Amino acid sequence: MNIETFISDAVRRSVEALYGELGDEQLQIQKTRKEFEGDYTLVTFPLLRRSRKSPEATATEIGEYMTANIAEVRAFNVIKGFLNLSLDSTFWAARFAEIAADEAFGQAPATGRTVMVEYSSPNTNKPLHLGHIRNNLLGYSVAQILAANGHTVIKANLVNDRGIHICKSMLAWKLYGNGETPASSGMKGDHLVGKYYVEFDKHYKAQIKELVAQGQSEDDAKKNAPIILEAQEMLRKWEARDPEVYSLWVTMNGWVYEGFDVTYKALGVDFDKVYYESQTYLLGKALVDEGLKKGVFYRRPDNSVWIDLTADGLDEKLLLRGDGTSVYMTQDLGTAFRRFEDNKLDDMIYVVGNEQNYHFQVLKLVLKKLGYADWSDHITHLSYGMVELPEGKMKSREGTVVDADDLIEGMVSTAREMSAELGKLDGCTEEEANAVSTMVGLGALKYFILKVDPKKTMLFDPRESIDFNGNTGPFIQYTHARIRSILRKAAEAGIDFEGVVAADYLPEEIDLVKTLTEYPSVVAAAGENFAPSIIGAYVYELAKQFNGYYHDHSILKEENADVRRMRLQLVRQVARVIRSGMKLLGIDVPERM
């Protein structure tokens, strides 16, 4: 049963019985605020011209009618012109029975819509870092949530595997690498390539300093430094498929992909399709040629191609460099075209940091001007804030980033240390302790990042995220493990808690049922807003609510068999919804802890 629809229909019937047909008039009904007694609240002020009575008298009259004529309405109270309605325990028991019987609870029916979610989108010149972690976790969770809302979801990764930044790592390795490989160095492939990206920057800065000392301006020195000129030449050779350059590119990218796969597996994220910029930039170039023929773009004297968007309140945007090499916008045009053509998408969601807000504004506008408005309007940029540390911002070129692999390893290690200190691993085998530590460490990391609204810049504190109290992943994981322990003990004691329950619900138990009934609407809201934080807030409140209930009420030691059966059934569903919600965040929950 849809509770909101039931309440709305019951209130409408009652109001019409008292005051006549309402026609298209909408009733104002909302969930009762927590500080007041009741389940749903009717705002009576719009009805006063019909009742011709005061707000309090109108609310009282409707309340008295409903308690007398609507069996499910147990009581009411009036606060000024607000009618608070309380539904009886039989009503909530029936709702709980529906939840328990619904194997797909929280999963919406299929919508027939196909949605692609692009996330990760790494460059193949460095390993993944903390910023990438937020991107991957957010993208994966949004994909899970959209699938729970009934959409067919394609998880996509666009690998930025070409361009000047890739050539910087390649050139530095060629100049200073002495043939070093992952095998010879013992380094993960993406770490090794990232080492040479930092090496390039070190030599580039030294050359700039030297040219400035010789009398050049800093801007001229940045353009004329021999190492940057050589990197630009390497890019031109790559686009011309120079055998030596292309072979080095294939080798070094291969090292990076092997490294990325290890990190993705550790994070628990995956992809249905992987696109490569090297395979889409030529299609982008073809679209640029098409735009030139249509007069959408124009060519400057230096042979570069631009679009003038000043009439649209933006500026002029480069689409092709004078030497014919492409830019990010070139390949993004090609990639967007290919995805919509190949997959017949209804929507395309790009999970990309907020520093690219302008880029996606331009991308949609350029596609529209090229004549693809029918699908460019279905592109959404899920913009998210940066992750900062107590020490400040991260910089890849200077090698000051927080490496993703190091962070994951550190989180698991810290989880092991803190869990052991608190006695959470007592009685565990070494294998179980490792599994729990990994689950808790990753759960702490994921939850701490995903509980924050995506649009906000966030400060990441690893140790705070592993706290077993408060709004953290480990707190929720431990709550699940506690419930599973209760259910195991019931089974070991031979307590049968299946079947129909005859016991009445206490107010705290009704509150738990009410929270459970909200789960599908929470999943829907998270999908509409692309916000895993909505799921996180809900699951935390449910876990906190259970812990308060558990503190005040006995479950296994309850002497009344019917009450004990009801309570065991109730907490089993609480654990089920916690597990389901955390899964949408990409977080596993332990059976024991």
% pLDDT > 70, the chain: 98
pLDDT in tens, 463-521: 788 878 889 999 999 999 999 999 999 999 999 898 888 778 999 999 999 999 999 99
Q: Identify the sign of the CA torsion 572, 493, 424, 269.
A: negative
358, 388, 418 - which closes a domain: 388
pLDDT in tens, 8-21: 999 999 999 999 99
Q: Identify the sign of the CA torsion 171, 177, 182, 186.
A: negative
Closest CA to 412 of 466, 476, 478: 466
Q: Which two tokens stand for residue 29?
A: 């009904």
Same domain for 125 and 82, yes or no, is no
Q: Is 73 in a helix, a strand, or coil? A: strand
CB 85 within 8 A of CB 493: no
- The answer to whether residue 361 is domain-embedded is yes
Residue 305 bridge partners (DSSP): 299, 320
β-strand pairing of 82-87 with 73-79: antiparallel
Same domain for 377 and 492, yes or no, is no
CB 473 within 8 A of CB 443: yes
Closest CA to 267 of 141, 399, 433: 141
- The answer to whether residue 416 is domain-embedded is yes
Place of tokens 């809900």: 538
Closest CA to 128 of 257, 260, 252, 255: 260
The 3-state DSSP composition of the chain as helix, strand, coil percent (nearest 5) reads 60, 10, 30
Does the pLDDT at position 575 exceed 90? Answer: yes
Same domain for 205 and 318, yes or no, is yes
Same domain for 382 and 325, yes or no, is yes
Q: Is 589 in a helix, a strand, or coil? A: coil
Same domain for 543 and 484, yes or no, is yes
Residue 426, CB-side half-sphere exposure with 13 Å CA sphere: 4
- The answer to whether residue 539 is domain-embedded is yes
Same domain for 146 and 21, yes or no, is no
- The answer to whether residue 335 is domain-embedded is yes
DSSP code per residue over 14-64 = HHHHHH---TTPPPEEEEPPTTSS-SEEEE-GGGHHHH-S-HHHHHHHHHH
* Mean pLDDT score across all residues of the chain: 93
CB 153 within 8 A of CB 115: yes
Q: Is 151 in a helix, a strand, or coil? A: coil
Q: What is the CATH number of the domain that holds 340?
A: 3.40.50.620
Q: How far is CA 48 from the centre of its chain?
A: 45
What's the rounded Cα separation, in Å, for the pair 445 and 460?
9
* pLDDT of amino acid 393: 47
Query: What are the start-end ranges of the E strands in 133-222?
Result: 152-159
- The answer to whether residue 443 is domain-embedded is yes
pLDDT in tens, 126-145: 999 888 999 999 999 999 99
Q: Is 116 in a helix, a strand, or coil? A: strand
CB 125 within 8 A of CB 167: no
Distance in Å from the first CA to the final CA of the chain: 36
Closest CA to 39 of 66, 15, 68, 69: 66
Residue 326 bridge partners (DSSP): 320
Same domain for 378 and 434, yes or no, is no
Q: For the residues 226-231, what does the mean pLDDT come to?
A: 97
What's the rounded Cα separation, in Å, for the pair 144 and 584?
5
Same domain for 176 and 224, yes or no, is yes
Q: What is the CATH number of the domain that holds 42?
A: 3.30.1360.70
Closest CA to 306 of 293, 297, 294, 315: 297
What's the rounded Cα separation, in Å, for the pair 415 and 428?
15
Q: Containing domain of residue 575, as a range?
A: 410-584
Q: Which two tokens stand for residue 162?
A: 């070409």
CB 404 within 8 A of CB 128: yes
Does the pLDDT at position 166 exceed 90? Answer: yes
Same domain for 313 and 429, yes or no, is no
Please give the single-letter amino acid code of residue 26.
Q
pLDDT in tens, 257-283: 999 999 999 999 999 999 998 888 888
What's the rounded Cα separation, in Å, for the pair 32 and 30?
6
What's the rounded Cα separation, in Å, for the pair 342 and 340?
6
388, 421, 451 - which closes a domain: 388
* pLDDT of amino acid 136: 97
Helices 532-552, 473-492: axis angle to 10 degrees equals: 50
- The answer to whether residue 83 is domain-embedded is yes
63, 87, 111 - which closes a domain: 87
Q: Is 297 in a helix, a strand, or coil? A: coil
CB 546 within 8 A of CB 540: no
Does the pLDDT at position 391 exceed 80? Answer: no
Q: Which contacts of 490-494 are long-range, i.e. CB under 8 A and separated by 24 or more positions?
A: 490/556, 490/568, 493/556
Does the pLDDT at position 404 exceed 60? Answer: yes
Same domain for 142 and 286, yes or no, is yes
Same domain for 318 and 466, yes or no, is no
Q: What are the CA-CA distances from residue 276 to residues 115, 257, 271, 273, 345 (Å)?
A: 19, 12, 13, 10, 19
pLDDT in tens, 508-530: 999 999 999 999 999 999 999 99
Q: What is the CATH number of the domain that holds 453?
A: 1.10.730.10
Tally of domains within the chain: 3
Same domain for 376 and 420, yes or no, is no
- The answer to whether residue 476 is domain-embedded is yes
- The answer to whether residue 81 is domain-embedded is yes
Q: For the residues 116-131, what does the mean pLDDT come to?
A: 93
